[in-house]
Amino acid sequence: MNAPALPRRGLLAGLLLAAALPALAQSYPTKPIRVIVPYAPGGVVDVQARAVTARMAVELGQPIVVEAKPGANGNIGAEFVARAPADGYTLLVSAPFLINNPLLEDHLRWAPKDFVPVARFTLSPSYFVVPASSPARSVRDFVEMARKSPTTLQFGDGGVGSTQNMANEMFKIAANIRLEAVTYKGAPPMVPDLINGAFAMAILPSTVAYPHVKSGAIRALANISSNRSAQLPDVPTIAEAGYPEVTALSWYAFHAPAGTPPAVMQRIEQAVRAALATDEVKERLVNAGGEAAFQGQEEFQAFLKSDAQRWERMVKAIRR
């Protein structure tokens, strides 16, 4: 006689949960939020994340603590967030490494399924640069120089799986030239050697490249993004320079641990949208080498699917 009670109890629990979600969204957050940046403090990702989270804290009414956990091509920070409670109080600042690393590395202690996308907040260009002393005035000039060089030219490489690293590898294939990597721990440490001509070229994130391009210490031959940047509008895209296959987008976003309540994710998404609508945040992003590029959960999910296909094509080409 009591058999039907269990289904009724399950239904009641579901109804109570559904009723609680709006209240959860209204009450969230009730304590500070941690945002994990999987790269070094002061770098492009850290600076742009802080520009956005400072305003998000105002929108949410709680402090947001930005914490750098660099190392292992972003894997240390990603693993930390993957193991965090799915309650909206620990977020990951994500980037293309979230797609690339599983394609390039085995035995990762996290997987893409461990995260859910919340919102994209910025796009950031990277530049194909050479020392000011280089005779190359265009990408095609550089290719000719590499082909005629009696020795293999070298390039600065800031780490496997980064947008810049992948673009470097793809450029070698597209241009059909040999280049030898000189590996550094990130982009900033390689700049003095690039300026001094210790190697022939690098692809650098905008925050690292821009000050030295403006000072005349290095020369930007191309922007590897799909569009010219307002930052350096006279610099052609890599597609305009003749190598569309090398086009690569640097994006930064927020991911949350899988299982985070939808109402909480929606609240975070709303805070990101509101932050990026302010002139203050837009200006800070431009000064940090990026541009506001908001996408909410649904649109961002579609973007990630498209971007994953782009990176998968790149990896297949590189591994041939």
Q: pLDDT tens-digit profile of 131-175?
A: 999 999 999 999 999 999 999 999 999 877 788 989 999 999 999
Q: What is the DSSP string of 67-92?
A: EE---GGGHHHHHHHHTS-SSSSEEE
* Domain finish residue from 216, 246, 276: 246
Task: Please tell me whether residues 262 and 239 are part of one structural domain.
Answer: no
**What does pTM read for this prediction?**
0.82
Written as six digits, the tokens of 123 are 């796009």
Q: Convert the pLDDT of each residue in 64-81 to its tens digit.
A: 999 999 988 899 999 999
**What is the Cα Rg of the chain in Å?**
22
Identify whether residues 86 and 131 lie together within a single domain: no
For position 282, which CATH number holds? 3.40.190.150
Residue 10 lies in a domain: no
**Same domain assignment for residues 152 and 293:** no
Q: Is residue 13 part of a domain?
A: no
pLDDT, one tens digit per residue, over 109-122 is 999 999 999 999 99
**Residue at 21 is within a domain:** no
Number of compact structural domains in the chain: 2
Pair (141, 196) in one structural domain: yes
Query: Do 48 and 196 reside in the same domain of the chain?
Result: no
* Nearest-angstrom CA–CA distance, 312 and 99: 9
**CA 185 – CA 266 distance, rounded (Å):** 36
- In a shared domain, residues 144 and 237: yes
Give the structural domain span for 182: 126-246
Q: Are residues 107 and 133 in the same domain?
A: no
Residue 17, in any domain of the structure:
no
| pLDDT for the residue 23 | 55
Q: What is the DSSP letter of 289?
A: T
Classify the C-alpha dihedral 164-166-172-178 as positive or negative.
positive
Pick the last residue of a domain from 221, 246, 271: 246
135 and 230 share one domain: yes
Domain membership flag for residue 236: yes
Tell whether 195 and 176 lie within a shared domain: yes
Which pLDDT value is given to residue 15? 53
> Do 117 and 60 fall into the same domain?
yes
The encoded tokens of residue 3 equal 């058999």
pLDDT (tens digit, 0 to 9) for every residue of the chain, 320 residues total? 444 444 555 555 445 545 444 555 569 999 999 999 998 888 889 999 999 999 999 999 999 999 999 988 899 999 999 999 999 999 999 999 999 999 989 999 999 999 999 999 999 999 999 999 999 999 999 999 999 999 999 999 987 778 898 999 999 999 999 999 999 978 889 999 999 999 999 999 888 899 999 999 999 999 999 999 888 999 999 999 999 999 988 999 999 999 999 999 999 999 999 999 999 999 999 888 889 999 999 999 999 999 999 889 888 888 87
Tell me which of 225, 246, 267 is where a domain ends: 246
